[in-house]
Structure 1
Amino acid sequence: MSNVIGIIRALNSGVKHLAIKRFTLRYPEQKLKFVGDGFQFNPETGVGIAGLRGRHILFHEHCTGCQLCSVACEGIAEAISMVKIHETWKHNKKAIMPQIDYGKCVFCGLCVDACPFYALYMTNDYELSSFTKSALIYTPAQLAIKPNIAQDVEIKIDDRGASHG
Structure 2
Amino acid sequence: MGTATGIIKALNSGIKHLAVKRFTLRYPEQKLKFVGDGYQFDPTTGVGIAGYKGRHMLFHDHCTGCQLCSIACEGVAEAIAMVKVQEEWKHNKKGIMPQIDYGKCVFCGLCVDACPFYALYMTNDYELSSFSKEALIYTPAQLQVKPNVQQDAELIFDDPRGAKHG
Taking structure 1 as the reference length, what is the TM-score of the superposition? 0.92
Q: Which residue of structure 1 lines up, in the alignment, with residue 96 of structure 2?
A: 96
Q: Percent identity?
A: 80
**3-state SS of 2:121 partner:** strand
- The structural deviation recorded for 1:4 is 5.4
| Aligned pairs for 1:1-165 within 5 A | 6-157=6-157, 158-165=159-166
Q: Distance in 2 between matches of 1:6 and 1:156?
A: 34
Deviating above 6 A after TM superposition, structure 1's stretches of 4 or more consecutive aligned residues are none
**3-state SS of 2:99 partner:** strand
- The structural deviation recorded for 1:6 is 4.8
- The structural deviation recorded for 1:8 is 4.8
Amino acid at match of 1:160: R
- The structural deviation recorded for 1:7 is 4.6
**3-state SS of 1:33 partner:** coil
**What is the number of equivalent residue pairs in this alignment?**
165
- The structural deviation recorded for 1:43 is 1.1
Residues 2 and 76 (structure 1 numbering): CA distance in 2 closer, same or farther, change over 3 Å? closer
Amino acid at match of 1:151: Q
Q: Distance in 2 between matches of 1:37 and 1:60?
A: 18
- The structural deviation recorded for 1:19 is 3.7
- The structural deviation recorded for 1:5 is 5.2
- The structural deviation recorded for 1:9 is 4.5
Q: Distance in 2 between matches of 1:142 and 1:46?
A: 28
Q: Distance in 2 between matches of 1:5 and 1:62?
A: 59
CA RMSD of aligned residues (A): 1.6
**3-state SS of 1:92 partner:** coil
Q: Distance in 1 between matches of 2:75 and 2:4?
A: 48
**3-state SS of 1:143 partner:** helix
**3-state SS of 2:156 partner:** strand
Q: Which moved more, 1:115-124 or 1:70-79?
A: 70-79
- The structural deviation recorded for 1:159 is 1.1
- The structural deviation recorded for 1:164 is 1.9
